Structure 1
């Protein structure tokens, strides 16, 4: 074998060894900074969606189709568990806590968000002012939503407490909650908390309407009051991402009243009033058709199916009593 060939083989071997060493060093560096990279990537995604108007538009989704705020929170918690050894020094604690708080406040866990903000403020001087301000806002929202009735879990293990009969007190308490939130809304207008507070005002209005719908049989003029409350929600929150849902609930209420009327006053009976029934039917159909006209929304399918089922109710009524 010639000397030149031996020299070429030696040089190639050295080059390969050098490349291997560089690759190993690069991998070692990547492993060292891997936890920080994962956390910063998650924080970057979350930060991008902090200003989102979630009152008017549905929350963004990540690549898996999950709510971006919930997905970010889960990813941060998973990174904390998986990289516990690398993060044990606590150099990322303030960032992780602050990011968790940003996610939690969008998931209505305002008390937990406030705790994480205060912990971040304690650890980090750079985040202190913003974290304390956000903690105060979360505390005020949490205190406000404790006032009056709220929407409850119908499948709670302890059961559902009976609703109070004093409608005036219920209305005043929920209005008090709304007043507190409205005052806060003016203070945070222009920040991302504007959308969060508006969502809570909408929820308070929904709780108020839900109370009157549930209690309509026990209250004087209960049906009229329930109808007014449902119309109030749909009117006040016409810009909300839930506007079609509000209209759908109103349509369902009209359809339910029509069914109740047919049960109480059979169409073949002398007490059946075609004009009264027609009024209920027309209102329900108009609302169902309005919701069904919005392509690309899940409410479209629900409204279409509900309309078909409701129209079937009219098939059993004589043509001379109800003009289809």
Structure 2
């Protein structure tokens, strides 16, 4: 069979979660609901933090950035899938596929980087509480976020450039609901050895390196907590990082353990299930995790809701006078 160069066709076909017609309305409704919850939940976290001066601290600065990344992370995949279901079309242009791949890689890298930065923030807060505000100064916080953006963008650019060198068969169907890097490399018609090397090296450096840094930070945190004499002090110290630890467990537990196991078995259904877990479910749960037992966030949300309720009648009153 003759190989078709990528310039010979202009689109891919995203096969989606299921090809059963009767399941499409259910999938559409479920993912639309999850997407709206993700966007509004994370947007509320951002607005609550920005409107409350008491939350203008390094921990909540990183949390607001994480919420923004979660919105963008989900928005790279779900809207296109919903559009394809609504229009009953599976097509995505080659340029659209590369663009989706680029932004997905950027925000996935940012997710891992910000989780690492937040682990370091908790390490400084618990292990060096007296020097916390000196170490985690605004300049360092901004620099950490900037470096996270630069590293993620460079990693994504490298992966996209590696994909651009590949050739594919015409009318290629991708057994996924978005243009996922591993799936595209597997379906290429040209040699993918160099792509696999770069892909695994990037994943090991960015994902694995971040995970090791998180583990190291928490090993120091646990050792510091164990040195606290009172049980109440231990509980208070642990509660400050419990939400972050749960988010890390969810993200890495789904994106690494489940996804890597599905890659070993070469099962497209397992790969899709893993991708849904860490691209849709985890960003949706993050606002609930951080606000469920966080009194500061709850207080800020109530204050923000109160401000919105007060502004409503005020705006209506001004419109009547104009």
TM (norm. structure 1) is: 0.27
Larger RCO, structure (CA 8 Å, separation 6 or more)? 2
Greater helix content: 2
TM (norm. structure 2) is: 0.27
